[in-house]
Copies of this chain bind each other. A is one copy, B any other.
Amino acid sequence: METSGETQDGAAGSIGDWAERSADPGYRAAVLDLLGALAYGELSAFERLAEDAKLAPDLADKAALARMASAEFQHYQRLHDRLAEIGADPQEAMRPFVEPLELFHRMTAPSDWLEGLVKAYVGDAIATDFYREVAVRLDDDTRDLVLGVMSDTGHAQFAVDKVRQAIEADPRAGGRLALWGRRLMGEALSQAQRVVAERDALSNLLVGGVQVQGFDLVEVGKMFNRITEAHTKRMAALGLAS
> Which residues of chain B are within 8 angstroms of A69 by Cβ–Cβ distance?
46, 50, 69-70, 73
Known contacts: A67-B77, A76-B66, A77-B67. The answer to whether A95 contacts B51 by CB under 8 A is no
Partner of A63 from the list B54, B59, B60, B76 (CB cut-off 8 Å) is B76
Copies assembled? 2
The digit string for A53-84, where 1 denotes a CB below 8 A from any CB of B, is 11000111011001101100110110010000
Q: Does A225 contact B (CB under 8 A)?
A: no
* Size bracket, chain A contacts: 20 to 34
At the interface, yes or no: A213 with Cβ under 8 Å from chain B?
Answer: no
Q: A46-B50, A54-B47 are in contact. Are A67 and B59 (CB under 8 A)?
A: no
Within 8 A of B (CB), among A80-129: 80, 90-91, 94-95, 98
Instruction: Give me 19 A-to-B residue pairs in the complex whose CB atoms sit less than 8 angstroms apart, sorted by A's number.
Output: A40-B59, A43-B59, A46-B50, A46-B66, A46-B69, A47-B50, A47-B53, A47-B54, A50-B69, A51-B51, A58-B91, A59-B90, A59-B94, A63-B76, A63-B80, A66-B76, A67-B73, A67-B77, A70-B70
Q: Which residues of A contact B (CB under 8 A)?
A: 40, 43, 46-47, 50-51, 53-54, 58-60, 62-63, 66-67, 69-70, 73-74, 76-77, 80, 90-91, 94-95, 98
In the complex, besides A58-B91, A63-B80, 9 extra interface pairs with C-beta distance below 8 angstroms are A46-B66, A46-B69, A46-B70, A47-B54, A51-B51, A59-B98, A66-B73, A67-B77, A70-B73
